[in-house]
């Protein structure tokens, strides 16, 4: 790195040790290079001057030019506020300050009748426009930003107290950019990538990102910065995948044997969808390759992942191996066990269930069967990863509803044989491609992207609490047709008494209203046995309405259930709402998801309800979820899973760019596999710099 860029910022004119410490503590900026990499989060357009008489409601940030005709201080101390009346000759507008009132008052009085540029977002109140905490700039200022695109930088309250406002940062950055030579800002992307994707050179992009000369150049510069970040992210991930692949050998499942054939020809209760067939092909290629498989199988709720899992397990058995399937809850594990046992009834395959509640003789029998190889498929919960669970020859580990299992748990499965088993991770939480490509970059991804035929999409309707009567009418109609109903209450924490009381009250109310039907209750405070008894009764159709906190969220399969009522739907995330909705609509009959919320909703909740009522496509829901919440909050994933911090790009909105960047990175890896070509040297060097700045990220699986 150049001398100037690595220079400490305290040596930059006007900064000094105190400001430097604040910058370092609040924004992790310590060198001039760091400062230049602090990009503006937006630019305000100061190329146009508005007139007060042209303002309309809902206007964005804008700029006015005029004089202050009156200054008035109201209230005392903490509650004082300063109101200045501003006029540009076409009308009047109030400028209001609640903070720094005294300072502002002095500044305005000292300036007298001077002319100002005023900048801010006007709002209409009592028939007059006002701007709270506007930016002011003397119209005769030398460093006028009027007439330009003015960069806005993130700052903190503390930084502002030390004079490190957005404007001050802009000043320091402008100064630093005037000192740095173009030759000190070398290109990091290879020439081929630059020309293939028509990118702006780094040194020009850096200057333009801060101080653009036109909106078009600004967006070209931002584009380049985003591309660069995503490119290096993908380059890092591709190399990591390459290392993993060559390092880990895997069992070879060379043949498709009698179990698979018998099942396929005489036990399979339906024909596979095209999507299921494609996924099977992808998995079989992995299983025969001699490398360990690490594959993420994504498929919306009800898309038919279980049968794919079973077919893979049969492949393992046909090649002399055992398989295990791990589920996140007892209910799901026992459901899988029952389902798989039924499917395999005609085959010479022993399927067993192991959970924490299988004890004594039964447990010893199962463990012995695993050790001598007579148990072929083991289904279970976390209990499977305990040390005493030893397989004779584990060839395949299938993990259902992956996001409930941590990184460490997955790797513990590996220890169960000399060669690690193949790993298939199944998730019903659709992960947007962009996230899958980064956070799960080390997993290959297969997608079941269509539902089995004959499904009628679930109809999703929204009711305010005052219309709960209509929800009950809907339930009544479905019960009359012999269908079953879920009523779900939120449970933020297992210990939340309020929520529990809510669900219990709901249960009693439903018992009253539907007194000729059987109503059941399941909640997080029950023991697994208690839950299981009720769930089983619901599965058998003996319970008609199941009231629950979110324990039924994942995986439960009761095809006769046709109504999902979600109380306090505003308190659920989009992904959760979608998961819950997936519990119904599993047969051909029309199904309903009824969302009940308070009559009035906040903007965010309203947007979520709007999304979930307007689409049943899990991927659309997931993309929206990402957009609304940002990747840091995605259920089961974390921005902290990213190797490099993204400053310009966003996984939520730059999906297309991410795919381009991935292609570009792949082309570079292919063109210079040994990292020896001079044209790529700066790129590899930059990657190593980035990698050395971050902690070890070598294993996310």
Q: Residue 85, SS3?
A: strand
Residue least distant from ligand ADP (Cβ): 304
Cβ proximity of 379 and 337 under 8 Å: yes
Binding region for ligand ADP (CB under 6 A) out of 108-116, 299-307, 475-483, 683-691: 299-307
Token readout for 422 is 């193949």
CA 476 – CA 248 distance, rounded (Å): 57
- The sign of the torsion formed by the CA atoms of 554, 274, 379, 444 equals negative
Report the nearest approach of Mg ion to the CB of residue 423 (Å).
17
Residue 32's alpha-carbon distances to 9, 25, 687, in angstroms, are: 5, 15, 20
Q: Site for ligand ADP (CB under 6 A): which residue of 272, 445, 669, 677?
A: 272
Size of the site for ligand ADP (CB under 6 A): 17
273: contact with ligand ADP by CB under 6 A: yes
Binding region for Mg ion (CB under 5 A) out of 99-107, 461-469, 548-556, 641-649: 548-556
Pick what 301 binds: Mg ion, ligand ADP, none; C-beta below 5 to 8 Å, kind-dependent. Answer: ligand ADP
Pick what 417 binds: Mg ion, ligand ADP, none; C-beta below 5 to 8 Å, kind-dependent. Answer: none
Report the nearest approach of Mg ion to the CB of residue 305 (Å).
5
CA 571 – CA 489 distance, rounded (Å): 10
Pick what 41 binds: Mg ion, ligand ADP, none; C-beta below 5 to 8 Å, kind-dependent. Answer: none
Per-residue contact flags (x/-) with ligand ADP for residues 543 to 562, judged by CB under 6 A: --------------x-x---
304: contact with ligand ADP by CB under 6 A: yes
Query: Which residue lies nearer to ligand ADP by CB, 130 or 303?
Result: 303
Report the nearest approach of ligand ADP to the CB of residue 421 (Å).
21
Query: Which residue lies nearer to ligand ADP by CB, 273 or 438?
Result: 273
DSSP string across 128-192: EEEEES-EEEETT-TT--TTSEEEE----HHHHHTT--HHHHHHHHHHHHHHS-GGGS---S-HH
270: contact with ligand ADP by CB under 6 A: yes
Pick what 430 binds: Mg ion, ligand ADP, none; C-beta below 5 to 8 Å, kind-dependent. Answer: none
Report the nearest approach of ligand ADP to the CB of residue 306 (Å).
3
Pick what 506 binds: Mg ion, ligand ADP, none; C-beta below 5 to 8 Å, kind-dependent. Answer: none
Q: Residue 372, SS3?
A: helix
Number of H helices, E strands in the chain: 24, 22
Cβ proximity of 253 and 321 under 8 Å: yes
CA 268 – CA 347 distance, rounded (Å): 12
Query: Which residue lies nearer to Mg ion by CB, 169 or 551?
Result: 551
CA 526 – CA 537 distance, rounded (Å): 16
Residue 214's alpha-carbon distances to 7, 49, 205, 211, 647, in angstroms, are: 31, 17, 12, 9, 21
Query: Which residue lies nearer to ligand ADP by CB, 58 or 453?
Result: 453
The pair phi, psi for residue 70, each rounded to 5°, is -160, 140
555: contact with Mg ion by CB under 5 A: yes
Pick what 270 binds: ligand ADP, Mg ion, none; C-beta below 5 to 8 Å, kind-dependent. Answer: ligand ADP
DSSP 263: I
299: contact with ligand ADP by CB under 6 A: yes
CA 82 – CA 64 distance, rounded (Å): 19
Query: Which residue lies nearer to ligand ADP by CB, 38 or 483?
Result: 483
Residues near Mg ion, by CB under 5 A: 555
Residues near ligand ADP, by CB under 6 A: 270, 272-273, 276, 299, 301-307, 428, 452, 557, 559, 586
């Amino acid at each position: 790195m150049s001398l100037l860029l690595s220079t400490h910022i305290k040596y930059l004119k006007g900064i000094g040790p105190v400001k430097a410490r604040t910058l370092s503590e609040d924004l992790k900026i310590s060198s001039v290079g760091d400062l230049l990499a602090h990009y503006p989060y937006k630019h305000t357009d100061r190329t146009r001057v508005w007139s007060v008489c042209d303002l309309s409601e809902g206007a964005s940030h804008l700029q006015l030019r005029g004089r202050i005709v009156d200054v008035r201080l109201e209230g005392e101390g903490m509650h004082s506020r300063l109101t200045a009346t501003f006029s540009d000759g076409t009308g009047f507008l109030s400028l209001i300050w609640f903070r720094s009132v005294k300072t502002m008052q002095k500044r305005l009085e000292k300036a007298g009748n001077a002319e100002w540029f005023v900048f801010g977002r006007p709002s209409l109140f009592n028939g007059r426009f006002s701007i709270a905490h506007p930016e002011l700039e003397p119209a005769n200022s030398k460093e006028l930003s009027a007439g330009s695109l003015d960069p806005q930088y993130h700052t903190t309250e503390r930084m502002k107290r030390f004079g490190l406002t957005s404007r001050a940062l802009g000043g320091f950055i402008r100064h630093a950019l005037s000192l740095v030579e173009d030759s000190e800002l070398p290109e990091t992307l290879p020439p081929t990538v630059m020309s293939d994707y028509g990118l702006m050179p780094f040194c020009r992009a850096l200057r333009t990102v801060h101080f653009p000369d036109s909106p078009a150049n600004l967006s070209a510069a931002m584009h380049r910065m985003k591309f660069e970040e995503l490119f290096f992210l993908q380059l890092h991930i591709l190399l990591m995948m390459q290392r993993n692949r060559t390092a880990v050998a895997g069992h070879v499942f060379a043949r498709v044997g009698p179990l698979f054939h018998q099942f396929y020809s005489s036990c399979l209760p339906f024909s596979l969808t095209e999507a299921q067939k494609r996924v099977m092909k992808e998995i079989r290629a992995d299983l025969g390759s001699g490398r360990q498989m690490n594959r993420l199988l994504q498929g919306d709720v009800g898309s038919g992942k279980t049968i794919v899992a079973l077919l893979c397990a049969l492949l393992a058995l046909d090649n002399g191996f055992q398989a295990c399937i791990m589920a996140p809850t007892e209910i799901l594990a026992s459901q899988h066990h029952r389902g798989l046992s039924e499917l395999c009834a005609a085959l010479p395959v022993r399927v067993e269930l192991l959970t924490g509640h299988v004890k004594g003789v039964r447990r010893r029998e199962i463990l012995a069967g695993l050790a001598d190889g007579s148990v072929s498929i083991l289904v279970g919960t976390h209990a499977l990863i305990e040390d005493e669970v030893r397989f004779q020859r584990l060839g395949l580990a299938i993990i259902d509803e992956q996001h409930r299992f941590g990184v460490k748990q997955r790797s513990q499965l590996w220890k169960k044989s000399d060669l690690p088993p193949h790993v298939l991770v199944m998730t019903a939480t659709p992960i947007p491609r962009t996230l899958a490509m980064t956070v799960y970059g080390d997993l290959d991804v297969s997608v079941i992207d269509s539902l089995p035929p004959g499904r009628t999409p679930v109809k999703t309707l929204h009711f305010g609490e005052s219309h709960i009567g209509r929800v009950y009418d809907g339930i009544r109609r479905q019960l009359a047709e012999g269908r079953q109903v879920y009523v779900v209450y939120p449970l933020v924490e297992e210990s939340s008494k309020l929520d529990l009381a809510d669900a219990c009250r709901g249960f009693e109310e439903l018992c009253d209203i539907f007194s000729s039907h059987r109503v059941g209750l399941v909640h997080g405070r029950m023991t697994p046995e208690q839950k299981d008894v009720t769930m089983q009764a619901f599965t058998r159709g003996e319970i008609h309405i199941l009231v629950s906190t979110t324990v039924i969220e994942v995986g439960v399969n009761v095809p006769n259930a046709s109504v999902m009522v979600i109380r306090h739907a505003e308190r659920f995330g989009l992904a959760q709402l979608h998961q819950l909705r997936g519990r119904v609509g599993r047969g051909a009959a029309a199904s309903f998801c009824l969302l009940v919320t308070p009559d009035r909703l906040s903007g965010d909740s309203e947007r979520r309800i709007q999304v979930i009522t307007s689409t049943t496509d899990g991927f659309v829901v997931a993309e929206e979820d990402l957009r609304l919440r940002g990747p840091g909050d995605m259920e089961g994933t974390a921005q902290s899973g990213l190797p490099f911090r993204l400053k310009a790009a966003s996984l939520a909105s730059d999906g297309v760019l991410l795919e381009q960047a991935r292609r570009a990175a792949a082309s570079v890896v292919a063109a210079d596999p040994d990292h020896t070509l001079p044209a790529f040297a700066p790129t590899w060097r930059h990657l190593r710099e980035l990698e050395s700045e971050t902690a070890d990220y070598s294993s996310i699986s």
